[in-house]
Amino acid sequence: MREARESRQPTLHMMGFDLGKDLTEDTLLDDSGDIPGLVPTGERSFDFIQKEGHTQLAHLSARARDIIFGVLAGFEPIVFETREMPRMAPRHQYDMDIPQRPGSRPVASRPYSVAPHLKTELSPQIKSLLKLGIIRESHSFYSSPVLFAPKKDGKLRLCINYQRLNQQTERDPFPTPVVADLIASTRGSRMFSKLDLQAGFHQLRLQDCNQEKTAVSTPFGLFEWVTCPFGLVNTPG
C-alpha cells in the first residue's frame, strides 16, 4: 500500500522541472545568515551604479556621462537594486494575475510527507522568505504541496506542485515577442544598456486578490506568496 501511495506522487520530470537549471532566486537561500532584510541601509543603491558607470564610460566626456546618469537616475526608485539595499518590488499595472476558469473551486491538495532530515532544510528557507517579505502566513482555502528538487551543487531547491491550480487557470493569450523583431527594432542604435534582474521572479508582485491562490502547505504552517513564485502557468518564461 505504501508503494502504491508513493507512486501517485508526481515525479519532478513529470511536472516539467529542469533539475539542472540554475535560478538567480537560489542565491537568496544558499546562506540564510547572509540575507538582508527589507530595511534599506544608508547608502543608495544608485551609488553603486554611478561608481561602475564612471569606470565603464570613462571614454566619454564628462558632459555625456552627466546626461546618461541623469536619465538613469529617473529610474532609480523602481529599477536599481542591490543586495546591500533590498526593497520590496513596487506595485505596477501588470502585477501577476491568476484568473480562474468559470466554476473553479479553491484547490486544496494534501501535503507531501517531508522526511525529518529535509525539515532542517525547509525551516531556514521558510524563515528567509518570511524575512524578505516574499511570503507571509496564510489562512487561505487554497493549498498546494511543497517538495524539493536537487541542484547541481547538491543543495535542495524549494518547489511547489501547482499542477492542480494551473489546470484551472486561464492561459495568458499574449504571445511571446519574436526575437527577430526585437533585434530589428535596435537597428540604427549606437548605445545599449543591460539590466540584470536579481531574483527575477521576486521582482514581480502578485495582485492582492491572487495571493491566497498560491498558498503552500508545509510542516510549519500555511504560507502564501506576495511575489511571483516559481511554477505558475502564466509567469514570464
Query: For the purposes of burial, counting CB atoms within 10 Å of the CB of 36, is it exposed (0-12), middle (13-18) or buried (19 or more)?
Result: middle
What single letter denotes the amino acid at residue 115?
A
pLDDT tens-digit profile of 166-207?
Answer: 999 998 887 777 888 988 988 888 877 766 555 666 778 889
133: left (phi over 0), alpha (psi -120 to 50) or beta: left
Contact 198, 47 (CB under 8 A): no
SS3 per residue for the chain: CHHHHHHHCCCCCCCCCCCCCCCCCHHHHCCHHHCCCCCCCCCCCHHHHHHHHHHHCCCCCHHHHHHHHHHHHCCCCCCCCECCECCCCCCCCCCECCCECCCCCCCECCCCCCCHHHHHHHHHHHHHHHHHCCEEECCCCCEEEEEEEECCCCCEEEEECCHHHHHCECCCCCCCCCHHHHHHCCCCCCCCCCCCCCCHHHHCEECHHHHHHHCEEECCEEEEECECCCCCCCCCC
Sign for the pseudo-dihedral over CA of 14, 15, 16, 21? negative
pLDDT tens-digit profile of 78-136?
Answer: 665 544 445 567 777 778 889 999 999 999 988 888 888 888 888 888 888 888 888 99
Q: What's the rounded Cα separation, in Å, for the pair 148 and 158?
A: 5
List Cβ neighbours of 129 (8 Å cut-off, separation of 6 or more). Answer: 29, 135, 223
pLDDT tens-digit profile of 62-78?
Answer: 898 888 888 888 777 66
State residue 144's pLDDT score.
94
Residue 210 DSSP symbol = G
Contact 96, 235 (CB under 8 A): yes
pLDDT tens-digit profile of 9-53?
Answer: 444 444 444 544 554 445 544 544 444 344 444 556 677 777 888
